């Protein structure tokens, strides 16, 4: 563990203006507060904050960030308070420590809805001060390095959270080295066998081929020297997790894995980058389709580099990245480079990108979104985004995540004027399906048509959060309009059945009595089967509900029950008066009434004492027994309304309606209809089958429900 003086010296080495006294005071304060606390490994707890501070000091961050690292657990784990930290140090440091404490208390990998809410809070905290997440990432890095002292289940939970959230977040913020280290540490916990297998294969490969990295590095230095270019050549093998991920994505064996080795060539100027590219391609054969110029088209996190893959010694492919020293600093440290210090002042790196702009845009874009899963999906897509650059017909460049389609392109241009009314696309002048995956450098033209509306299938095609959110919003609006029309038809049919006239005033009155905010909302809930028409009728016309008392007393509808016994008509077979029935009496559960042919009765064959011989009362029953019908109708205007009206005219009431399948030409729906007996069912069934727009009608029975 670094001493207070050693840590102060480390800061002074890159920031001579560092407040040495405050650094040492913070060190001593943290050590005092954590006195007597120990980590799971048995080490004094304060070794952890010091290690986090050291990680950040190696990134050359400012005094406030280092002090926050030293104190980041004091408010949570000791008697310290935000006010006390502010008084002893500065309000800025107090805010930072409090921010890190709040992040620590978020259970980022909990249930989906809570996870989405916590992710919102996470991004809001980052937007307030980016240094909060820098401390949190360093905290997580050290915890992952020392994770072996935790229980196995806790290790797995932390590793999954790191792999799903913290590693991609570090990558999205340009901190590639930290991302790779977090991924590999998580990989070691989640799949140690796979990681060890990859490492063994690397060892075997080196034994078979010798030190390929040293030989290729020498070859590259020789070629650069011939061309008179000064550059640093760094070579390395892929990280185990990087190799494993590529094997899984491409479904490759290790022996077929290309570009196992990667080389970085770092020079002074952008012009030299392109000169080096020429030297590399002259000496080695370039692999087609493996060239990307992130200098002319930088990634959104500020990453700049030229990527090319060439066939090196013995035909082995190697990846080459060419960049300047400034670009390399951003590639490795990302946003940390934006906050790093040299000679007492913030270092100026023109390539750093402050991610606050991206985070603020993400929050504003999805903050009004009620769908928590949609927000979470959008966040993860944004964090994992691998950029693709495409051109508009005017030559403007738009950036998309890898796998984006013309649907994403359309919504990137304009939601209402282009995305919602998109009917097709041309890529490089050729008409393509909307599910086509876009590639770098393509020119995309969107074809629109008046009257077009977003389709549900677009959700499967879209990749960007913006497109998915806009499509979901449009679909909800369209569904609401259809539900309102459907609800109007259902309610009108119910009113006709009772010889009542439906008016807007009655609809508004019913909505008010049912505590629904508006008449349209009531109709929408009727159309989506959230409210039953009978509830509206009973609310508006209590006298009708009173008149509908069954002529056969409900308690006497079934004959064969003992005094005081109640019966329960089972939903698996939905027996009607006129059906042959049997009863099953189980202790404490009353008598379950089944149709005699119901397969569920087989479960009780061995319980002879449970069987009761029952039959329906022969009198006239009221239409109160729900039966489910599956009806297939043509998808034409007004058909559903006519079907509902017909059912109402036959003295039956529709208590529930559900769309099972929607096709361009037919709808399949399930109707729950309240009937009086088998004869009533036969009458409704026959009349429906006689309708030309009705393709099929059948009674549904659900054994096992």
pLDDT in tens, 185-235: 999 999 998 888 888 888 887 777 777 888 889 999 999 999 999 999 998
Arithmetic mean of pLDDT, 114-135: 74
- Three-state SS for 398? strand
| Cα 67 to Cα 135: distance, rounded to the nearest angstrom | 10
Arithmetic mean of pLDDT, 525-552: 69
Task: State percent of the chain over pLDDT 70.
Answer: 87
Q: Are strands 292-293 and 285-286 parallel, antiparallel or unpaired?
A: unpaired
Phi and psi of 397, rounded to 5°?
-105, 130
Arithmetic mean of pLDDT, 26-38: 93
| Cα 469 to Cα 464: distance, rounded to the nearest angstrom | 9
Q: Please report, for residues 97, 146, 149, the alpha-carbon distance to residue 38 in angstroms, rounded to integers and kept in the order given.
A: 21, 13, 12
Query: What per-residue confidence (pLDDT) applies to 92?
Result: 93
Q: In the predicted model, is pLDDT for residue 630 greater than 90?
A: yes
User: What tokens were used for 594?
Assistant: 């089944």
Instruction: Give the chain's largest Cα–Cα span.
Output: 107
Q: Looking at 198-202, 362-366, 467-471, which range is the least confident one?
A: 362-366
User: What tokens were used for 343?
Assistant: 């000679």
Q: Which residues contact 458 (CB under 8 A, 6 or more apart)?
A: 407, 434, 467, 471
The 8-class DSSP code of residue 652 comes to -
Query: What per-residue confidence (pLDDT) applies to 546?
Result: 46
How far is Cα of residue 386 from the mean position of the Cα atoms in its chain?
17
End-to-end CA distance of the chain: 64
Q: List, in order of start, the domains of the chain with CATH numbers.
A: 4-190 (1.10.3210.10), 203-346 (3.30.460.10), 356-474 (3.10.20.30), 478-543 (no CATH), 554-616 (no CATH), 623-705 (3.30.70.260)
Task: Pick the closest to residue 372 from 483, 475, 479, 465 (CA basis).
Answer: 465
List b or e across 79-98, with b for residues whose CB sees 16 or more CB atoms inside 10 angstroms: ebebeebbeebbeebbbbbb
pTM of the model: 0.56
Q: In the predicted model, is pLDDT for residue 365 greater than 60?
A: no
| Cα 560 to Cα 582: distance, rounded to the nearest angstrom | 10
370 versus 445: the higher-pLDDT residue is 445
- Contact present, 610 and 617 (Cβ < 8 Å): no
CA angle 451, 455, 461 (to 5 degrees): 130
- Three-state SS for 650? coil
Strand-by-strand arrangement of the 444-448 sheet: 430-432, 422-427, 444-448
Arithmetic mean of pLDDT, 120-148: 85
Q: In the predicted model, is pLDDT for residue 113 greater than 50?
A: no
Q: In the predicted model, is pLDDT for residue 236 greater than 90?
A: no
User: What tokens were used for 450?
Assistant: 């008046």
Q: Which residues contact 161 (CB under 8 A, 6 or more apart)?
A: 108, 109
- Three-state SS for 612? strand
| Cα 243 to Cα 191: distance, rounded to the nearest angstrom | 13
Q: Give 7's pLDDT tier (boundaries 50, 70, 90).
A: very high
Query: What per-residue confidence (pLDDT) applies to 125?
Result: 73
Arithmetic mean of pLDDT, 314-332: 86
Q: Which residues contact 314 (CB under 8 A, 6 or more apart)?
A: 209
- Contact present, 320 and 266 (Cβ < 8 Å): no
- Three-state SS for 704? coil
Active site residues: 76-77
Q: In the predicted model, is pLDDT for residue 68 greater than 90?
A: yes
Q: Please report, for residues 18, 458, 489, 569, the alpha-carbon distance to residue 616 in angstroms, rounded to integers and kept in the order given.
A: 92, 52, 34, 12
| Cα 625 to Cα 676: distance, rounded to the nearest angstrom | 6
Q: What is the pLDDT of residues 434-445, one digit of tens each?
A: 988 888 778 899
- Contact present, 416 and 382 (Cβ < 8 Å): no
Average pLDDT, the chain: 83
Q: Please report, for residues 66, 179, 293, 388, the alpha-carbon distance to residue 262 in angstroms, rounded to integers and kept in the order given.
A: 33, 17, 16, 22
| Cα 303 to Cα 325: distance, rounded to the nearest angstrom | 12
User: What tokens were used for 115?
Assistant: 């996870």
| Cα 580 to Cα 565: distance, rounded to the nearest angstrom | 19
| Cα 447 to Cα 6: distance, rounded to the nearest angstrom | 65
């Amino acid at each position: 563990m670094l001493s207070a003086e050693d840590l102060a010296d480390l800061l002074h080495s890159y920031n001579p203006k560092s407040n040495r006294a405050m650094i040492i005071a913070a060190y001593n304060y943290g050590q005092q507060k954590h006195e007597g606390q120990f980590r799971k490994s048995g080490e004094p707890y304060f070794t952890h904050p010091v290690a986090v501070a050291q990680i950040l000091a190696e990134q050359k961050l400012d005094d406030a960030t280092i002090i926050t690292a030293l104190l980041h657990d004091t408010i949570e784990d000791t008697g310290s308070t935000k006010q006390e930290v502010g008084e002893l140090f500065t309000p800025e440091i107090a805010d930072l420590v409090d921010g890190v404490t709040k992040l620590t208390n978020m259970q980022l990998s909990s249930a989906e809805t809570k996870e989405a809410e916590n992710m919102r809070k996470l991004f809001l905290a980052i937007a307030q001060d980016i240094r909060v997440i820098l401390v949190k990432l360093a905290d997580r890095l050290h915890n992952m390095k020392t994770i072996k002292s935790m229980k196995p289940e806790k290790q797995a939970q932390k590793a999954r959270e790191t792999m799903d959230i913290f590693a991609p977040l570090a990558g999205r913020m340009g901190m590639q080295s930290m991302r790779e280290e977090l991924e590999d540490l998580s990989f070691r916990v989640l799949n140690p066998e796979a990681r060890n297998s990859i490492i063994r294969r690397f060892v075997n490969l080196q034994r078979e081929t010798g030190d390929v990295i040293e030989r290729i590095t020498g070859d590259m230095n020789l070629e650069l020297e011939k061309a008179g270019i000064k550059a640093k050549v760094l070579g390395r093998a892929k990280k185990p997790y990087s190799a494993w991920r590529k094997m899984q994505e491409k479904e490759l064996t290790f022996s077929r894995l290309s570009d196992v080795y990667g080389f970085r060539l770092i020079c002074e100027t952008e012009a030299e980058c392109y000169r080096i590219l020429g030297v590399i391609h002259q000496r080695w054969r370039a692999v087609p389709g493996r060239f990307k110029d992130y200098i002319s088209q930088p990634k959104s996190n500020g990453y700049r580099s030229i990527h090319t893959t060439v066939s090196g010694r013995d035909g082995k492919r190697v990846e080459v990245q060419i960049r300047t020293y400034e670009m390399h600093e951003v590639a490795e440290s990302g946003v940390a480079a934006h906050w790093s210090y040299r000679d007492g002042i913030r270092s100026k790196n023109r390539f750093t990108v402050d991610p606050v702009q991206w985070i603020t845009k993400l929050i504003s874009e999805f903050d009004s979104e009620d769908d928590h899963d949609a927000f979470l999906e959008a966040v993860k897509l944004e964090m994992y985004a691998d950029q693709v650059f495409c051109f508009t017909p005017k030559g403007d460049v738009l950036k998309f995540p890898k796998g984006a389609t013309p649907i994403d392109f359309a919504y990137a241009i304009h939601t209402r004027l282009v995305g919602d009314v998109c009917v097709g696309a041309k890529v490089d002048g050729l008409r393509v399906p909307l599910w086509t995956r876009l590639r770098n450098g393509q020119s995309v033209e969107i074809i629109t048509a008046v009257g077009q509306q977003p389709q549900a299938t677009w959700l499967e095609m879209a990749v960007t959060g913006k497109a998915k959110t806009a499509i979901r919003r449009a679909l909800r609006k369209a569904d609401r309009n259809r539900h309102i029309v459907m609800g109007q038809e259902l309610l009108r049919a119910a009113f006709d059945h009772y010889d009542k006239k439906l008016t807007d005033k009655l609809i508004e009155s019913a909505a008010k009595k049912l505590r629904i905010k508006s008449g349209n909302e009531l109709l929408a809930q009727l159309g989506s089967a959230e409210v039953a028409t009978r509830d509206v009728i009973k609310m508006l016309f209590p006298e009708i509900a009173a008149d509908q008392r069954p002529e056969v007393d409900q308690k006497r509808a079934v004959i064969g029950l003992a005094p005081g016994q109640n019966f329960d008509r089972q939903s698996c077979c939905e027996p009607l008066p006129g059906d042959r029935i049997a009863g099953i009496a189980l202790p404490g559960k009353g008598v379950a009434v089944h149709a005699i042919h119901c397969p569920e009765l087989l479960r009780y064959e061995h319980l002879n004492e449970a069987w009761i011989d029952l039959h329906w009362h022969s009198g006239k029953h009221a239409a109160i027994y729900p039966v489910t019908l599956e009806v297939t109708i043509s998808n034409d205007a007004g058909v559903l309304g006519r079907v509902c009206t017909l059912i109402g005219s036959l003295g039956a009431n529709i208590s529930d309606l559900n769309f099972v399948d929607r096709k361009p030409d037919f709808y399949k729906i399930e109707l729950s209809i309240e009937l009086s007996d088998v004869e009533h069912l036969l009458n409704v069934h026959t009349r429906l089958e006689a309708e030309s727009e009705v393709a099929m009608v059948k009674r549904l029975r659900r054994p096992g429900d």
